[in-house]
Amino acid sequence: MRYLKRPNFNIQISSLMLDKTKEKILYQLFLDIDDFMKAFERYQAKQALENRRVRPGVKASMSLSEMMTIVVFYHYSGYKCFQYYYEDFVLKDLATEFPKAISYQHFVSQLTKLGAPLFLFAQWRTQLAQRTGIYIADSKKLPVCDNRRIGSNRVFKNVAGRGKSSTGWFYGIKAHLTINNLGEIVHFVITPANVSDNNEKVLEFLLKDLHGKCFGDKGYLTKFFEHFLEKGIQIVTKIRKNMKNSIMQMSDKMWLKKRAIIESVNDLLMTVFDIDHTRHRNPWNAIIHTIAGLTAYSYYPHKPSVFIKIGLD
C-alpha cells in the first residue's frame, strides 16, 4: 500500500485497483483541481463582496475539489456505470480518503454545482495545449436515446436535437472539437445535434485565437472562409463533386489524408473515457460528464499524434 499526501487529501491506493500511471494521474488531477478551485473560490468571494451578495449558509461536508476529482477520475476508472463506481470504489476503497463522502443520491443531486467550475477548468486545460499551427476540426455525435425512442424522450426536451452523421440520423448533442497534430484538444463546444459543423458561431469558438491551418471534412465548407483567413487561420477541406476543382499545395493534401487522427481521438473518448452512452436521466448531468470526459482525456499520456516532414509552403 502506498500513500499520496496532501493537506486534507491522503489517498491510500491499492495496487489491485490502480496501476502506477493511474495513481500518478489521480494525484496530479487533485492537485490541479484543488489549486484551480482555490483561485475560483477567491474570485467568487471577491465578486460577492463587490456586488454585496454575501449570504450565510452551511458549509458542505464534501468540497467541490473532491467532487470534481471523483467525477473526472471516473473516466479513468474502467467502470461503465457511475453508480457502481461511486458506491463500490469511492465509498468503499477510498472510504478513508473521503471520510465525509456523501451518499450516491446526494452526490448526484449536487452535480449541477460543478457545471461552471468544471467547464472553466476544462477550458483552462485546453489553453495548455500547444499552438502548433496545424489543427484538425470534427464533431462527435452523442446520442441520448435509441432512434426508436425519440418520440417518447422527455428528459432532453429543448436540449437535444436531431442530427445526421456519417453513420445516419440520431437524436442528441454534439461535441465539436479542434485538436492539434499532437492529439491535444485546443477548443471544444457542445451543441444540440441539429447545429451544423460550419455554423458561424461554432467556428468562431473552435478557431478562436488560432493561427495557421485547420483541416476538416466537407462539412466545414463555409462562406466565411475569407473572414477566418483575415484572422490568420485558413480552413482547408476537400471539395464536393459539384464544385470546381482547384490547385492545392502538396502539404495540404498530405494533412487532409492525416486528419483521420481526430477519429482516433473520438474513439478514445468513446471507448476509454465513456462519454457516449444513453443512460443519463438529467441533461445537465450528461453535459457535466461529457466535459469531465474531455478533461480526463487531457491527462491521457498516450494521445495519438502525427507528423509530416513536408513543411507548409
Nearest by Cα to 260 from 136, 110, 168, 115: 136
Contact assessment for residue 198 and residue 118, using Cβ atoms and an 8 Å cutoff: no
End-to-end CA distance of the chain: give it in Å, rounded. 55
Note the pTM of the prediction, 2 decimals. 0.85
* Other C-beta atoms lying within 10 Å of the C-beta of residue 171: 23
Contacts of 11 (CB under 8 A, 6+ apart): 3, 4, 26, 27, 30, 94, 97
93-127: b or e for each residue (b if 16 or more CB lie within 10 Å)?
Answer: ebeebbeebbebeebbeebeebeebbeebbeebbe
- The span from the CA of 169 to the CA of 164, in Å, is 4
- The span from the CA of 129 to the CA of 140, in Å, is 20
Nearest by Cα to 301 from 23, 30, 63: 23
Residuewise pLDDT in 10s, the chain (313 residues): 344 445 444 444 444 456 777 778 888 998 999 999 999 888 888 776 555 554 555 456 788 999 999 999 999 888 888 999 999 988 988 787 778 889 999 999 899 899 999 999 999 999 999 999 999 999 999 998 888 888 888 888 888 899 988 888 999 999 999 999 999 999 999 999 999 998 999 999 999 999 999 999 888 888 888 899 999 999 998 877 777 777 778 888 888 888 889 999 999 999 999 888 777 788 888 899 999 999 999 999 899 998 876 544 4
How is the chain split into domains, by residue range?
2-109, 131-279
* Other C-beta atoms lying within 10 Å of the C-beta of residue 74: 23
